[in-house]
Structure 1
Amino acid sequence: MTFMTEKMAGTPYHLLLLSLGFSLVYVLMKAIQLYYKRQTQLKALESFPGPPSHWLYGNIHQITSSREELNIMLDWAEKYPYAYPQWLGGFSCILISNHPDYAKTFFGRGDPKDRLTCESLIPWIGKGLLVLNGPKWHQHRRLLTPAFHYDILKPYVAKIADSTKVMLDKWEKLIAQDPTKSLEMFDHISLMTLDSIMKCAFSYKSNCQTDRDLDYYVKAVSDLNYLAFKRITSGVLQNDLLYLCTPSGRHFKESCRLAHHHTEKVIEERKKSLQNERELEKIQQKRHLDFLDILLCAKDENGVGLSDEDLHAEVDTFMFAGHDTTASGISWLLYSMAQHPEHQQRCREKIQEILEDREDIQWDDLSKMTYITMCIKESLRLYPPVPGVSRQLSKPITFFDGRTLPKDFLIAINIHGLHRNPAIWQDPEVFDPTRFSAENSSQRHPHAFIPFAAGSRNCIGQQFAMNEMKIALALILLRFEILPDPANLPIPIPQLILKSDNGIHLFLKKLK
């Protein structure tokens, strides 16, 4: 009896030792894997000097504040003019470039999005066009391209104008209440661009600008933008289970739920309308289907439509990309106009010449807005809505200068740095729309200006975005003079979208 008791008592002890032994072996194997991973990356980067890096912390910790991040990266880009390694920790590295010849090679290959970005975005936007790769990406791209044909974009002009006018009416009331107070632009413009994309791409009418019934969605997207970017650049918290145990992870999960609630509502309402034979007949008789029509009605060669998962992913992707990036572009454009009243006035005069006695903007007017387009492009140069893009190499790469990287390495193009590269742009910090005259543009490297990326994976909605920026700017300048708020100058910070840490505050003066 005593022998049996001792044997039973010893069993948990032996199991504990065995478990501890397995744990030590696992930790040792992981340590060896990390060591060899670091050594492999160091060898690959021998020809790429960069900022000093700690073996454990990397060099990302040198960026102590999001307010300083863009300036520090510009300093690094000046010291290492072609490319430099940025270590997110001791074992995770990405090569950053701000040179057009590197961008040309980078965008000419069609490499997939990097794993870190995909894993951070998929819980939010699913496996849509933004993160898909291979045959499925090609299938979705072919499927969605017709949704951005110019014949479909034409009737959107009036819808975008209507949404813009709602915003301008709100502004009139606000400045009438207190003309001494500046307005924060991004909040208002984000609601306007959300209203526009819902009317245009989803044929969904909301009162989000007046009733603010979608404030929760705009707030969720803003939070997801910040949280996803911080996760991508943290160098840690890549494990989903570990991340969801943190306050940020729980916040991210809740924000995803709120964002999905909105997009699911849009999809379900359209599906219900399709069950009505009369509504279905109306859609089928449309000369051109909108974005959601295409998603719901599309069939492949075998007659199979998109799965619910694919449908939701594309709606989540375009609901985000179709309003948040454009809101960033318009907000920074207005700031640029406020800072440069001479260009603002010239744009206003050109718009008045084009419209003459008309108040409504028409499709044909957009192509006549030559100087306005130059100002928009110069603003996009200084403040690109997407400050950088990254890829994971599907095969080894050789750059124009002979330097190489192996398969699976992470590489990013710092679009913000590329657009301010003094080797490409004279006086890069100066706002000069004439850079985009036909003559000057023809002499520039084709990859020196890439606000919508480039290559096969460029932004599918770039023409829609440019049209929306032209319409919004034209209508705003016809009604208001835009003035800066010296006490609240914006502080650009890079997230997934370029934003301002303290908002974009401008004074508006009603024109007589």
Structure 2
Amino acid sequence: MMEMTSPLFMLPPYYKYLKTKYWKRFCSQWDTMFEIGMEIIRERQEELKSLPALKEDDKVDFLTDIIQRSNLSDERLNTTLIELMLGASDTTANTITWTLILLSKYPGKQKKLHKEIKSILKDGEDPDSETVHNAPYLSACIKEAMRLYPVIFNLIRQAKEDVVILGYQVPANLSQKFVIGCNNLDHTGMITRATLTPDKAVKITLTERP
């Protein structure tokens, strides 16, 4: 489904009116996702019927929390769930995967990161948001992995009015694609290091893609 989205941005919207095969397939895939999302919500709602109401300080998963503590309709719940599936799970998994791959290729940096984490967390202690704030090298490694292997490789934007960019005339309503991945690897015009937390001058170099 995600592979089908990008071409639609670059084409005139005739497919909406002619109901092309491509458009029908695209809509069908979205419908399937929302059907799956609604099934998950219904199953969780049935499970919660046999459980006591949540207390204010109870810690539960996100879906349980918004079902019991919000006034969202099932349709809005489903939309929120789908957005999390598309915009959170996949992006997080991709970033973690490439960070681990890169660290495996640079054992010296992996050792340095391990030392930093061990200095912050006690044995058996789980990390939280505060851990990340106190781990500048961890943040640097993650952001460097995102530079080399960005989750979103390109962005599509549409000009609201006629504009000139770098000497090129861009008419209003024209869709333009910016390839982030290529820019991130352009060593002539982009910073090739992840320079984070300036007060500590944390710098790492993972400039070669495996």
Q: Deviations over 1:331-360 (max 9, x none)?
A: 11122112222211211222222235x133
**Deviation of 1:397 (Å):** 4.7
Answering whether residue 44 of structure 2 is matched by residue 270 of structure 1, we say yes
Cα separation, 1, equivalents of 2:94 and 2:74: 32
What does residue 355 of structure 1 align with? 121
Cα separation, 2, equivalents of 1:294 and 1:394: 37
**Deviation of 1:387 (Å):** 1.0
What does residue 3 of structure 1 align with? none
What does residue 205 of structure 2 align with? none
What does residue 204 of structure 2 align with? none
**Deviation of 1:374 (Å):** 0.9
Cα separation, 1, equivalents of 2:161 and 2:59: 40
Q: 1:318 to 1:396 in 2, by over 3 A?
A: farther
**Deviation of 1:419 (Å):** 1.7
Q: 1:413 aligns with which of 178, 187, 195?
A: 178
Partner AA of 1:265 in structure 2: E
Cα separation, 1, equivalents of 2:161 and 2:13: 27
SS state at 1:391 partner: strand
Cα separation, 1, equivalents of 2:147 and 2:111: 21
Q: 1:367 aligns with which of 133, 138, 146?
A: 133
Structure whose CA Rg is larger: 1
TM superposition score normalised by structure 2: 0.71
What does residue 107 of structure 2 align with? 341
Sequence identity, in percent? 20
Q: 1:321 to 1:255 in 2, by over 3 A?
A: same
Q: 1:227 to 1:244 in 2, by over 3 A?
A: closer
Partner AA of 1:389 in structure 2: L
Q: Deviations over 1:45-97 (max 9, x none)?
A: xxxxxxxxxxxxxxxxxxxxxxxxxxxxxxxxxxxxxxxxxxxxxxxxxxxxx
Q: 1:420 to 1:365 in 2, by over 3 A?
A: same
**Deviation of 1:233 (Å):** 7.1
SS state at 1:239 partner: helix
SS state at 1:389 partner: strand
SS state at 1:438 partner: coil
**Deviation of 1:242 (Å):** 1.7
**Deviation of 1:380 (Å):** 0.8
SS state at 2:52 partner: helix
Cα separation, 1, equivalents of 2:114 and 2:51: 48
Q: 2:3 aligns with which of 196, 216, 226?
A: 226
SS state at 1:278 partner: coil
Q: For structure 2, which runs of at least 5 residues remain unmatched after alignment? A: 202-208
Q: 1:392 to 1:234 in 2, by over 3 A?
A: closer
Is the Cα–Cα contact under 8 Å of residues 350 and 369 in structure 1 kept in the other structure? yes
What does residue 84 of structure 2 align with? 318
Q: For structure 1, which runs of at least 5 residues remain unmatched after alignment? A: 1-223, 300-304, 442-488, 491-512
What does residue 196 of structure 2 align with? 436
Higher relative contact order (CA 8 A, sep 6+): 1
What does residue 377 of structure 1 align with? 143
SS state at 1:412 partner: strand
Is the Cα–Cα contact under 8 Å of residues 136 and 196 in structure 2 kept in the other structure? no
**Deviation of 1:238 (Å):** 6.1
Cα separation, 1, equivalents of 2:171 and 2:10: 23
Cα separation, 1, equivalents of 2:182 and 2:127: 36
Q: 1:326 to 1:362 in 2, by over 3 A?
A: closer
Cα separation, 1, equivalents of 2:84 and 2:73: 16
Q: 1:242 aligns with which of 20, 42, 59?
A: 20
Between the two proteins, the alignment pairs up a number of residues equal to 199
Q: 1:272 to 1:238 in 2, by over 3 A?
A: farther
SS state at 2:173 partner: coil
